[in-house]
Amino acid sequence: MIQVLFFAHLQDEIGENQVAMDIDSLTVKELKERIRETYAVSQMDSTMVSVNEEFAKDEQLIQRGDEVAFIPPISGG
């Protein structure tokens, strides 16, 4: 199982703040595509991904047990 967290506008669009996906492993890029297809999300290009609370690049492999978060452009401060 991979836990996927959504924040800000993604959370509103998808209607969930987290989903569990029964996947063994895939890359960040593959997960992004899968999420875009599944939830018809508008803008993903500027969205970052973190794996286990660290920023991850597109080619990074996500594995069973990881916690992944989709991080839209941030606006703290």
Partner 1 sequence: MVERRKPIPVNEAIERVMQYSHIGKTEFLPIEEAYGRFLAEDLIADHDVPFFDRSPYDGFAIRAEDTANASREEPVTLNVVGEIGAGSVFEGTVKANEAVRIMTGAAIPEGCNAVCMLELVEEIENGGKPAIRTKRSYEAGDNISFKGEDTKKGSVLAEKGTRINPGIVALLATFGYKEVPVSTKPTVGIISTGSELLEIDEPLQPGKIRNSNAYMIRAQVERAGGVPIYLGQFSDDFDTCYQQVIQAIDQVDFLVTTGGVSVGDYDYLPAIYEKMNANVLFNKVGMRPGSVTTVAEKDGKLLFGLSGNPSACYVGFELFLRPIIRAYLHHPKPYIRKEQAVLGTDFSKPNPFDRFVRGQLRVESGKLVAEPAGLDKSNVVSSLGPANVLILLPKGTRGYEAGMEVNCLLLEDEEGTDFQTFTEPDPKKQKTRESSTDLFQITEEPIDLQPMIDRLTRREAGAVVAFEGIVREWTKGKRTLFLEYQAYKPMALKMLQTIGDEIRERWPDTVVAITHRIGRLEISDIAVAIVVTSPHRKAAYEANQYAIDRIKQIVPIWKKEHWENGEEWLGDQLENVPYPDGKPTLKEEV
Contacting residues toward partner 1, per CB under 8 A:
5, 7-9, 11-12, 28, 45-50, 53, 55-58, 69, 71-77
**Which of residues 8 and 21 has its CB atom nearest to partner 1 in the complex?**
8
Query: In this structure, what token pair is assigned to residue 4?
Result: 């996927």
- Spatial separation of the C-alpha atoms in residues 19 and 35, rounded to whole Å: 11
**Which of residues 35 and 49 has its CB atom nearest to partner 1 in the complex?**
49
Short-list 18, 15, 25, CA closest to 70: 18
Query: Which residues lie across from 48 on neighbouring strands?
Result: 71
Cβ at position 75, least distance to partner 1 in Å? 4
